[in-house]
Chains A and B, each alone.
Chain A
């Protein structure tokens, strides 16, 4: 039995023991608002290795309860919202501690091919189990609290390919949207994850939401497509394995909602797993002119590590008004944009590399 099969079978066994929620019926107010506004909560949370699914569920439920107490219609969880279950592996907790202890800030560890293959194989064997159990778990929680839940992302398997994918559950616990990551990080590519090629939106209380993932926020193209789909709010779950830096953070969703006016909701994962440090602040962003502080930040957590729940009332009418009526409202130049379109068609990474050589 290979190491991969051994680890996967142990985790899969535990994943099959899905805890039942104490109360399956909804005792919370879940009336739809009719004024076209919506309250959204976004989670910033620390990875906590757990030894069973009920501990994981308990951790998630705390955030959901808190968001429900703030009258939220939607709660958003971060990317890779399942790392905690690697605690199912018996030696994982001490191993994680040791890797964190011996982690050197200055050493850039190259990704080894063996390590990437191992990660790919582990994800490949676990993907189905993770997807099934997480879907049941978040469905129960959405139904119990009568709230829309964006589950954050998991690695899923479709026709022998792995994807980084997030799910939206409605108040009845039904999956109403599935969004795959459309731009991968170099390490995800090396791990053999495949990128999706479509973007979906979903209407909640008359507000149109989209759910691109982490690296997708580094590509303006995603947001221009979403703008054409009349998106009001882009939700971005992230898991950044680097030290927090405000300038680096500003390159993502903050920048995207400036150039393509919409609200941006960022949920982030932090903490340590397998010698990797994750940081990031959860926050809610909008075009600078629509924020009280004039800096494009509606609300943001106070630190890049630890647990936070950021909540805000979203009024898409202000964005819609701003998009049409400001000095620099997005305008089209079809002649130039046709050239852009052709350039993408001709796009070949190797040609670009050659072009950019000095």
Chain B
């Protein structure tokens, strides 16, 4: 299965800063991904928020539903699945960060962010309560976004439900440190034998500098460095891609599956003995 991760670096942000430019970026990106027969493309977290902000600057009334409509249109027209990256949504008077998986022009699945950072809490954002698994072409997938990638229980839970491909739109608020990012999705792919498409957003929003690099990760047992593809800062690529081999992932898990070594008796003490 060919998959892609969008690259939206600081230089892209400068190049595609106006609302119309961002529309062009999305058009170019999906065209290029289709050109290599990619089935899925993941956008960075806050990419949609960036577009909403650019539209506002132009005086255009544009909400997250308009952003999702544009992605639905592109998905249908170019026959590609798109993971939107996180946008701020309101559900029952509470604000959340939500990512959408759009397939065949429709929202097939969405996931609320489960954990919030200090800054996200200061914006009044709430935490979702469920991590859902959805199936795409027979592969169980899940969306684990941004702050959630730093919580290893999210990946563990997804893996225990049978997920094999994780879509990770990311964007971090602290100072840039690629080792910090690696302690998230990459680390969790290793701990659970998963594939992961991580897409980073770079730009300024809510008076904060947001950063993230784009990678496609694989368990080390399959490849030497545990990542099939990574974004080279010296290049101005629109996306990175990889061909994921799920049969090899199964072979890799049959040699060593970390989940088989879980010690459930010990975990009786996890999460305060399960009490709130």
Partners in one complex: yes
Residues of A within 8 A of B177 (CB): 288-289, 294
How far, in whole Å, are A35 and B272 apart by their CA atoms in the complex? Answer: 30
Do the beta carbons of B220 and A247 come within 8 Å of each other? yes
How far, in whole Å, are A23 and B246 apart by their CA atoms in the complex? Answer: 62
Do the beta carbons of A220 and B156 come within 8 Å of each other? yes
Do the beta carbons of B220 and A219 come within 8 Å of each other? no
The closest CB in chain A to the CB of B127 belongs to A333
How far is the CB of A138 from the nearest CB of chain B, in Å? Answer: 26
Residues of A within 8 A of B263 (CB): 182-183, 195, 197, 219, 221
Please report the number of residue pairs spanning A and B whose Cβ atoms sit closer than 8 angstroms. Answer: 178
Asked if A335 is an interface residue, CB under 8 A from chain B, the answer is: yes
Interface string of B233-259 (1 = CB under 8 A from A): 000000000000011001001001111
Q: How many chain B residues touch the partner (CB < 8 A)? A: 65
How far is the CB of B44 from the nearest CB of chain A, in Å? Answer: 17
Do the beta carbons of B174 and A328 come within 8 Å of each other? yes
Interface string of B154-178 (1 = CB under 8 A from A): 1011011110100000001110010
Checking B151, B253, B261 against A184 with a beta-carbon cut-off of 8 angstroms, the contacting residue is B261
Asked if B270 is an interface residue, CB under 8 A from chain A, the answer is: yes
Do the beta carbons of A251 and B270 come within 8 Å of each other? no
Residues of B within 8 A of A218 (CB): 191, 258, 261
Do the beta carbons of B274 and A352 come within 8 Å of each other? no
Do the beta carbons of B264 and A347 come within 8 Å of each other? yes
Selecting from B10-18, B52-60, B92-100, B113-121, the interface stretch reads B113-121
How far, in whole Å, are A349 and B163 apart by their CA atoms in the complex? Answer: 15
Do the beta carbons of B162 and A356 come within 8 Å of each other? yes
Selecting from B29-37, B179-187, B198-206, the interface stretch reads B179-187
Selecting from A45-53, A170-178, A301-309, A338-346, the interface stretch reads A338-346
How far, in whole Å, are A352 and B267 apart by their CA atoms in the complex? Answer: 17
How far, in whole Å, are A159 and B75 apart by their CA atoms in the complex? Answer: 63
Residues of B within 8 A of A331 (CB): 115-116
Do the beta carbons of B267 and A328 come within 8 Å of each other? no
Residues of B within 8 A of A344 (CB): 160, 262, 264, 267, 270
Residues of B within 8 A of A340 (CB): 153, 156-157, 270-271
Asked if B124 is an interface residue, CB under 8 A from chain A, the answer is: no
Interface string of A215-243 (1 = CB under 8 A from B): 10011111011001000000000000000
User: Which 10 A-B residue pairs are closest in the complex by CB-CB distance?
Assistant: A355-B162, A258-B183, A335-B129, A220-B152, A341-B274, A197-B265, A255-B187, A337-B271, A251-B190, A349-B260
Q: Which residues of A approach B to under 8 Å, CB–CB?
A: 182-184, 186, 195-199, 215, 218-222, 224-225, 228, 245, 247-248, 250-251, 255, 258-259, 288-289, 294-296, 326-341, 343-345, 347, 349, 352-353, 355-358
